[in-house]
Structure 1
Amino acid sequence: MEFIEFLVKRSDDMLEMGLGHAAVVGISVVLASVIGISLGFLTYRSERARGFVLALTGAMLTIPSFALFILLLGPLGLGAQPVIVALTMYGLMPIVRNTVAGLNNVDPAVIESARGVGLSRWQRLLRIELPLAWPVIITGIRVTTLTLLGIAAIGAIVNGPGYGEFIFTGLARVGTPVAVDLVLAGTLGVVILAILFDVLFHIVRRLTTSKGIR
């Protein structure tokens, strides 16, 4: 009951933090998608290049988030910028991996048929390969988004926007009556955003995937 009263009292803050949290994650996902899909397309035919890119993007995931945010403070300063750069780095690996997997799983006979009717390399990619690989690619983007929603909360250590402000403020006040409410409110906000993003991806997938390959 006290927690509900806390949420009502801080509803304006919850909304403001939610919008900021969603914004940095949304921007990061768009950047990671553009870079990741491009890298996947450029390397999926070459085992060596593919292995290098997957190893590099995988290595980025091993960097502790606290350390990465602090390292980015020097060149980027406080605020949303270091958070967006860090989240973009963390978001690349699932998108690259799924882009490579999706493109490699396209039936070679379909590609040969497209080549046989005179489609260029770019025409085959845009009209045949990417549409067939899209369900796998968008799954990678969805996984990236849900992962980044949690990591974005840590961006509060560099004054990044989002629910991390509530969480870190609560942790700093451990032992006080409001500490648990702050941490729960921040956590609940991240969970609600994850549900909303998941629903959004379900809708986008249905709208952007042809009925024959759903």
Structure 2
Amino acid sequence: MTLWEFVGDRWSRLAIEAYQHASVVIQCTLIAAVIGILIGVAVYRSPLGSIVATALASTVLTIPSFALLGLLIPVLGLGVAPTVTVLVLYALLPIVRNTIVGLGGVDAAVTDAARGIGMNRVAVLTRVELRLAWPAILAGMRVSTQMLMGIAAIAAYAKGPGLGTEIFSGLNRAGAANATNQALAGTIGVIVLALVVDGLYLIIARLTTSRGIRG
């Protein structure tokens, strides 16, 4: 059986797993974005705080995802809980770093002008600084999403949802009929999802970034 015949025979299952894979990655990126932006907002005015926050987020990336999943399984069990925890932790660094860089790069003259027309600190942050920093923040989310596409496949080790199930099943059955096709179907599916979601980020960036900032 060829790869395309294999995919055709199992299209319904692969489609469900692709949806689950994309869903868990996007949801975890959004959770990490909320956490990462809050952290960035809290520390971007403090050089020491920025260094500490970035260093802590960087530390997570030094731990192999497979090992981190293994460490979390005895605590959180199998399935969604360890998968979401790992994905959110790995997504934090690009978002935290880009939030700090984006907010720190806002021209002081712009914020001074905003205060000069009567805006309070919260209004300056939400209506001026975060809007100007948005392209950098979105770029961080884009990087995080691409990383999580691959890491989510590894989460199948902890019975996480997604196309990693096909990859692991195929590898575990190496030498058996259609084992290679199964692993390839999962792998190619992850690549296609990553490209589609990356394209969506480009559309979102164009729709949510003002022409003045893009230019």
SS state of the match for residue 177, structure 1? coil
Number of the residue aligned with 2:64: 64
Number of the residue aligned with 1:131: 131
Number of the residue aligned with 1:195: 195
**Superposition pairs of residues 173-212 of structure 1, within 5 angstroms:** 173-212=173-212
Q: Describe the superposition over 1:169-192 as per-residue Cα deviations: whole angstroms up to 9, x where unpaired.
A: 111111223121011101111011
Amino acid at match of 2:48: R
**Superposition pairs of residues 95-114 of structure 1, within 5 angstroms:** 95-114=95-114
Q: In structure 2, how many angstroms separate the alpha carbons of the residues matched to 1:148 and 1:31?
A: 13
- Identity rate, percent: 49
Number of the residue aligned with 1:115: 115
Quote how far apart the aligned CAs of 1:51 are: 0.6
Q: In structure 2, how many angstroms separate the alpha carbons of the residues matched to 1:74 and 1:34?
A: 27
Q: In structure 2, how many angstroms separate the alpha carbons of the residues matched to 1:141 and 1:46?
A: 23
**Superposition pairs of residues 71-110 of structure 1, within 5 angstroms:** 71-110=71-110
When normalised by structure 1's length, the TM-score is 0.97
Q: In structure 2, how many angstroms separate the alpha carbons of the residues matched to 1:16 and 1:114?
A: 48
Quote how far apart the aligned CAs of 1:36 are: 0.3
1:147 and 2:147 are equivalent in the alignment: yes
Number of the residue aligned with 2:37: 37
SS state of the match for residue 72, structure 1? helix
Number of the residue aligned with 1:53: 53
Q: Describe the superposition over 1:145-199 as per-residue Cα deviations: whole angstroms up to 9, x where unpaired.
A: 0110100000111110111111111111112231210111011110111111112
Q: In structure 2, how many angstroms separate the alpha carbons of the residues matched to 1:85 and 1:26?
A: 14
Q: In structure 2, how many angstroms separate the alpha carbons of the residues matched to 1:22 and 1:169?
A: 19
Quote how far apart the aligned CAs of 1:116 are: 1.4
Quote how far apart the aligned CAs of 1:75 are: 2.4
Gaps of at least 5 residues in structure 2 are none
Number of the residue aligned with 1:26: 26
When the two chains are superposed, the root-mean-square deviation of aligned CA atoms in Å is: 1.0
Number of the residue aligned with 2:165: 165
Amino acid at match of 1:200: L
After superposing the two structures, state which structure 1 stretch, 59-68 or 171-180, moved more: 171-180
Number of the residue aligned with 1:12: 12
Amino acid at match of 1:143: V
Amino acid at match of 2:205: R
When normalised by structure 2's length, the TM-score is 0.97
Q: In structure 1, how many angstroms separate the alpha carbons of the residues matched to 2:74 and 2:5?
A: 40
Amino acid at match of 2:180: V
Q: In structure 1, how many angstroms separate the alpha carbons of the residues matched to 2:178 and 2:5?
A: 12
Q: Describe the superposition over 1:63-109 as per-residue Cα deviations: whole angstroms up to 9, x where unpaired.
A: 11111111111222111111011000000000000001111111111
SS state of the match for residue 90, structure 2? helix
Q: Which runs of 4+ in 1 moved over 6 A?
A: none
Gaps of at least 5 residues in structure 1 are none
Aligned residues: 214
Q: In structure 2, how many angstroms separate the alpha carbons of the residues matched to 1:90 and 1:170?
A: 26
1:156 and 2:144 are equivalent in the alignment: no
